[in-house]
Structure formats: structure tokens, C-alpha cells
Structure 1
């Protein structure tokens, strides 16, 4: 048993998968000839530098071991497939896909997705900090991303599995569709995201398998209670205080490390957004306008005509603009109030990473985004004729 665990967690297995998919380290000789040792390279394919995660260009005057950071792509279709798939587990996908479901399909489905997304992501992030299992080593693995947090479990695999199968299990009671097609789509989506974490060199096979199994366990345990939780979330007077203060307490009680990690900030963002959406759904229920499609359920989805496509695209871009403005305004105000209270500079990045500033800043910003997404945006659509 231990030999199987050791094999699945090995960096060599990840490297073998990368080589089988056509991803190789750049030849050391040509790498050194093309790039001086004073150059920092975060990724290179066929002589072209890739952007650094923090937005800087590859050549910035820092030193790095170029032999472990350059790469050569020999199978471009697989490269684009897996690099594209890994974005389906990133925050940018969540903050666009989930609101899109709310604005253009059914707030009921969005509520289910947000709830499960928040639960599995919190479990996964906390497990990373508690287990402290490192990511695959480079070399032999080629790293396409630069992350400093731990590896076990893969939260990309967890989120992809949770979102795909929550949608699959929730949709039949709301819309008519071929379940077998949905099952295949859910399996393909979660598999692509999971395999992309091996391809990018960010997780071992064991990280991915454990992430998938944890999400499957959470879904299996919680599924029989989804209807009861929905009723409580929408109708109980205890719902707003619980969904506000419980996530906030969990953020403050997040495991402490001996170094700074962005995982606490990421987790606070997720829980803040989830809390805002939950309170917003409760408010919509009290106001008597939930913006859900009229029954009887399941409804038949209309064909996607040019008019429907244009209307959906208009909702998406207007709604996204409102959310971006909400984020910028709320963050600007909250940051200055917190810096004033704690007597630190607005531009002091190290101070912003302190828990007493980072947690309320991230939580309040994304709490506002969740509220605006669930309460305000659809009312704006009504005013401007998009609903």
C-alpha cells in the first residue's frame, strides 16, 4: 500500500506524464546560450519567453536556475488543451462562470454551486496548510506556474469536481436535458482540470486523486440534505447571521504558518463571496423577487437564437462591469479605513498582509461583490431592459 502511495506522490511520475504529453525541459546548452545567467525565466517554449505570474517580463535582472525554469513544447495541441483547462479551476473562471449562471440560467443553480464551491475550497485550503506536503520538485518536473503554497490536496481538482457534479445533480429538477450527456460533460471537465495540474507540474497524481475523492465524499454526504439546506438558507431568520459570522470566524481561525501564504487571502475571498451571495438570496426571498424562471419544473431551455445570445452577452458584460466597479470602490474604501485605524500606509504591502488587515479587507470587498451579484445586478437588468 505504501509503495502505491509513494509511486502516486512521486515527482518522476509527474515528469513522465509531462514528457508523454510533449512537455520537456529546455536543453541546457541552448537555454544558456539564448538567455544570460543574470536573466530570470519563468517559462520558455521554443525560444519565446512566457510572462511571470506577477506580470513582469521574463528578463528583469534577477538570478535564477535557468535549467529548472525553461521548457520546450513538442505537442502544441496538448499544451493549449491543458493550459486552457487549468484556467477552469482558477478564480477568474469562478467569478465569471458562477455569475453567468445566475444572470442567464437560474439563481437556484448558482446558489447550489456557490455553496458547494465554498465548502470544498475551504476544506482543501485548510488541509494544505495542515498537511504541509510540498508540490512536485523541479527538476525533474517542469513548472509552468509559480506557487509557494503546499500541494496536498489539489483544490483545482476539488473545485472542478464539485462544480461539475453539483451542476449535474441539481440541474435535472430545474431544466430538461439528457442526463447521460451531462454526465459525460462533468467527467470530461473534471478530468481535464485534474490532468492539467499534472501537466503544469503543480501537483502529484496523489494530490489530484485525493482532491477528487474528497469532493466526491463531500457531495455524497451533503446531497441528501441539499433541499433542507436550501429552505433554511432562504427562509430562516438565523440564515443571515450564520452565513455572515461563521465564514468570518473561519477566516480569522485559519491555520497560522511561519511564513506568508496567499491561501488565507484566497480562502477569505471565497468565503466572503459565498456569504454575500447567501445573504443576498435571503433578501431576495424576503423582497419576493428571486429572479428564478417560472415553473412548472423542469423547464425546457429555448434554442440559442442570435437575439438570445446577444441578450445573454449584454447581461454578462453589464453585470461584470458592475461587479468590477463594486470591487474597486469597496476595496478602495475598506483599505483606507483599515490603514487609518491601524496607522499604516496605504501603500505598505507588508502591512496589508497582516491578518487584522487582510481578512477584513478581503472579506468585506467580496461580501459586497456577493451581495451586488445576487441582489443588485438583476434589478439593474430590469431597469435597463435586459431582463
Structure 2
């Protein structure tokens, strides 16, 4: 009985908004002065034409949202550290970091990272929308991000992804590259910790959300690690691999849990699953064509010296590759969205229609399926054509 009481108290403490607020204050992040916030809200209200004639409830909610945006930073180095760390869990990081591993280091490592990333993120996003546990409340917490505030809290998928990517890269790189393991371990721990703590600093998650996210990722890595080589072989050599790689993620996106309000979780999950599906098909195709662009071995290989020429080559590859990926994203997104809106008889500018599952899932999945294919198949062939290999 005593153990149950202690566990309940620990959960209550770790899930409290007050604990998050104390962490923010200790790091130099404070809510703005109350009079300043009220004055700013009145100024917004007086000049905001959108609020005219709005229902009282919506008007009050808008005022509260405006007042919440104000905060005071007393420790700018810590502020920038955690804001940048939080960005490491966003789309712009994944769409640049993961392909960069493929283009400049080893496609094998990118494949492992993408596979684990997709599994971890799908499990985390679904758990959020099944458990439906709230994020920290304002006040007392200061919130620095608002796009995902309508999402539920537990677990923190930022913490899950950072932990999974850091330690998957560490464990996989041991097979392929010579490096000091102790240094890699320190970097993995530091990166995971920074991203996890950034979720407290930005006010988006409780300590319980973050801890559960880390533990879930550790569990997933522990369960899957003994089977990584078998899964690698099947992914690259099974004739069913490309079919499973597309059909299963697409099915999971359509079967994503329904909510009573719109949330970005389904769309973000579809993006991840689409990218992973595209990469998987691309890696299978490369294997069948015997054009994997992987180091020849024997493994682990030693990294070459970090000269100015090597850095310039990496930068050139990244620039060209990212340009191709962004062009692919914009083109396929533009075409797929218009085709779907035309087929369902809705305007492309209709935001509510674009959020419907029958439009959101296929247009986002197809867009990032194309990105995954281009990343794994096309970009390295372009490098070969222009002399960047």
C-alpha cells in the first residue's frame, strides 16, 4: 500500500505544471508582467477586426491566447540552447539531417535511422491520441510553441525521437565506422538530454511526458535491436519488401485514431510514414540494381581526414541534395493536393477540406513517399553525374 501511495505522489509531482514552471524560472524564463500582458491584450482587442462580432467564448479564448504569448527571458544563452534543441525534433531537422547521413556518410546508417524513427514516432503519436493526457497548463507555465498545443501530452515524441535516433546511430555506427565509443556515448546522452529538457523549457511537456518518452524509446530499442540484421536483410532482398513498405504504413495512417477535434498528429505521422516508405522502396531498388552507394568495407572503416576539401564536398552534396528534395516536395505537394481537391470537388484554399482524412492522408503520404524515393535513389545518381561522389 505504501508503494502505491509513493508511486501516485511521484506521478502527481512529475505530471504537475508547477514543476515545469519552476524549471523554466530556474532557467531564466518568466511570464511577462501582468499589467503589460493585460495592456497588450487590450491593444490587440481594440485593433483586431477579426474579434468584432465573435462569440464571447471565442473572444475570451483569443484574449487569453494573446496574453499567453508574452514572456520575459533573463538568460539568453540558455534560451537559445533550448530553442535550438527543440528544433532538432521538427520536420526541418529530419528532412535535412537524415538525408545528410545518406549523402555524406553511409546509406546503411540512414536506413537504420529512418526505420527506427518511423516505428518510434508512430507508436508515440498513437499513444498520445489514445491516452489523451493534457499538456502543462498556462498559467503557471510559459509556452513557446503553439502549433502543436492542441495535441495531447504523454509521451513526448521529441524525447522519443531524440533518444531513438541518438542511440540507433551510436549502435549502428559501431558496425560501420571506427570512432571512440565513449565519445559517441557522451554525444548521444547529451543530445537526448538537451532535446528532452527543451520540452520542459518550451512548456510543451511535463517531466512525466519526457521520462515516459525516453523509457518507451529504450524499450523499443531493446526489443528490436537483436533483430536489426534480419530486418535489414528482408527489407533489401525480399520481393514483398516494396509492397509491405508502402501498403502497411498507408493502412496505419488511414487507421490512425480519430479525435473529436483537429490535431496535427495524424498529418505529422503521415509525413513520417510516407518518408520511411519511400526510403524503404528506394533502398530495395538500389539493392536489386547493385547500386547501393555504400562503403566497400572491410568494416568498420576509418573516416578520412577532415580537410577543407572534404568539408567543401560535404557542403556541396548537402546543398544540391537538399535543393532536389525541396523541389520534389513542392512539386509533388502542389500536384497531389490539386488532384485530390479536384476529385473531391473542393477548393485548394479550403483549409477545413484539406484537413479531411481522405485528402490529408494521401497528399501528405504521396509527397513524402516521393521525397524518400528521391533521397535514396535519385540524389546519389545526380551526384555521380555532376562529379560529387
2:28 corresponds, among 5, 9, 22, to 22
Q: Tell me which moved more, 23-32 or 247-256.
A: 23-32
Whole-Å separation in 2 of the counterparts to 1:372 and 1:339: 25
Report whether the alignment pairs 1:196 with 2:198. yes
Whole-Å separation in 1 of the counterparts to 2:380 and 2:301: 20
Correspondence for 2:104 = 104
Question: Secondary structure of 1:89's partner?
Answer: coil
Whole-Å separation in 2 of the counterparts to 1:322 and 1:286: 24
Report deviation, 1:353.
Answer: 0.7
**Structure 2 runs not aligned, ≥5 long:** 1-6, 46-61
Structure with the higher helix share, 1 or 2: 2
Report deviation, 1:335.
Answer: 1.1
Report whether the alignment pairs 1:10 with 2:16. yes
Report deviation, 1:65.
Answer: 5.3
Correspondence for 2:42 = 37
Task: Give the length in aligned residue pairs.
Answer: 365
Cα 1:24–1:328, aligned 2, differ >3 Å: closer, same or farther? same
Report deviation, 1:328.
Answer: 1.0
Correspondence for 2:268 = 266
Report whether the alignment pairs 1:320 with 2:322. yes
Report deviation, 1:69.
Answer: 2.7
Report deviation, 1:340.
Answer: 1.6
Q: Deviations over 1:60-79 (max 9, x none)?
A: xx644554331111111111
Q: Does the Cα contact within 8 Å between 2:41 and 2:63 map onto a contact in 1?
A: no
Correspondence for 1:253 = 255
Correspondence for 2:172 = 170
Whole-Å separation in 2 of the counterparts to 1:233 and 1:80: 40
Question: Secondary structure of 1:139's partner?
Answer: coil
Report deviation, 1:28.
Answer: 1.2
Whole-Å separation in 2 of the counterparts to 1:323 and 1:349: 25
Q: Does the Cα contact within 8 Å between 2:41 and 2:67 map onto a contact in 1?
A: no
Question: Cα RMSD over matched residues?
Answer: 1.1
Question: Secondary structure of 1:39's partner?
Answer: helix
Whole-Å separation in 2 of the counterparts to 1:292 and 1:249: 31
Report deviation, 1:336.
Answer: 1.5
Q: Does the Cα contact within 8 Å between 2:282 and 2:376 map onto a contact in 1?
A: yes
Report whether the alignment pairs 1:300 with 2:306. no
Whole-Å separation in 2 of the counterparts to 1:329 and 1:23: 41
Q: Tell me which moved more, 21-30 or 216-225.
A: 21-30
2:279 corresponds, among 268, 277, 280, to 277
2:223 corresponds, among 215, 221, 224, to 221
For 1:1-387, list aligned pairs within 5 A: 1-33=7-39, 35-39=40-44, 63-64=63-64, 66-146=66-146, 147-387=149-389
Question: Secondary structure of 1:331's partner?
Answer: helix
Report deviation, 1:39.
Answer: 2.0
Whole-Å separation in 2 of the counterparts to 1:189 and 1:167: 12
**Structure 1 runs not aligned, ≥5 long:** 41-61
Question: Secondary structure of 2:42's partner?
Answer: coil
- State the TM-score, normalizing by the size of structure 1: 0.93
Cα 1:359–1:293, aligned 2, differ >3 Å: closer, same or farther? same
Cα 1:6–1:348, aligned 2, differ >3 Å: closer, same or farther? same
- State the TM-score, normalizing by the size of structure 2: 0.92
